[in-house]
Amino acid sequence: MVPTILYSIILLTGFWPAAQPQGNAASGAQQSAITIRVFKSGLFSGFAHNHVVVAPIAQATADPARMVANITVVTREMKVTDPEVSEKDRNEIQTTMLGPTVLDVAKFPEIRFKSSRIEQTSAQHYRVMGTLDLHGASKEIVLEVTGGPEHYHGVTKLKQTDFGIKPISMGGGSIKVKDELELEFEVYSVAPVKSGASNPGSR
C-alpha cells in the first residue's frame, strides 16, 4: 500500500546515512554508512511495512585514543532501500523523503554528530557521547561502539519527536509508525590525519 509505505518512510527520514569517510577514498576500504530502521505499529499494522534507509557517511573521524568521533551525512544522498516496494514506489518515497515535508535537504543539507566524551567500557568497546545535529535540532545522544582501529560498528536509538518530527499515522491511528528509530552504523577509516600533517613545519 503506497501511502502507508510513504508515510512510514517519512518518519524514518528525520535522521542520519554510501560515501567513504574523508581521507579513506584511496584506501579501497569498504564504504561507511548508517542504516536506519523504522517499524510499524497500530491496530492494522499488518497492512504496513517496516522500512530501511541507508545514509552514506560523507566524512568520518574515529579515534578513541584522542577522544574524537565525528560523522557527517549529506542528506540528499540518503537512499530508500526497502526491498518490499517497487522501483516506482521507492522513487516516490525518495522524493518525498528529501522534500520540504520531511528532511528538507535545501534547508538542512547535512546531519552531524560530534563527540564530547568517549569511555572505554571493555576491550574494543566504547560508549560515545556527543551532540547530534538533525533537522535543525541539537540533542545529546549515546552510541555503543565496538571495534577499531580501522572498523567501528555502533548502534543507537532515536525518537523522531526529539528532533521536531511528528510520527505519521493513518486511519485515526490504526496504521502508524513508531516514534523510536533504530540506527546502526559501520565506519571504515584509516588513521586520522593530524592537523598540520601536510606542513610538518607548521605549529
Domain ranges of the chain: 2-62+74-106+147-188
Across 131-149, average pLDDT: 93
Q: Rounded distance, CA 193 to CA 195, Å? A: 7
* pLDDT for res 96: 72
Q: Is the pTM of this model over 0.75?
A: no
Q: How many residues does the chain have?
A: 203
Q: Cα–chain-centroid distance for residue 163?
A: 13
50-89 per-position pLDDT tens digit:
678 899 999 998 888 888 999 999 999 999 887 777 788 7
Residue 158 has pLDDT above 80, yes or no: yes
Q: Rounded distance, CA 16 to CA 32, Å? A: 13
Residue 181 has pLDDT above 90, yes or no: no
